[in-house]
Amino acid sequence: MSNVKIVPSCPRCKSTGNVVKHNKGIVSLECPKCKFIWSTFSETCPDCQKPNGFFVKGPCKQCYSERHKIS
């Protein structure tokens, strides 16, 4: 993982990427403009302290779902 850097925007055109895959703290992003794919580190979920699967701060899908359950 030492060759993966925190890169939230496309290295080619600086657009914000879309998450196409995540695995063990690494997020793969695809640029909607130039279709370049790159990898970056996932942020940590503030609730469970595990990678949240996104390149922005916030809860993971599981913690978000638990927090917003319809009763």
pLDDT at 57 over 60: yes
Please report the pLDDT score of residue 2 as a whole number. 46
Please report the pLDDT score of residue 1 as a whole number. 43
pTM of the model as a whole: 0.67
Sequence ranges of the domains in the chain: 18-67
Distance CA 14, CA 33 (A): 10
DSSP notation for 27-63: EEEE-TTT--EEEEEPPBPTTT-SB-SSSSSS--HHH
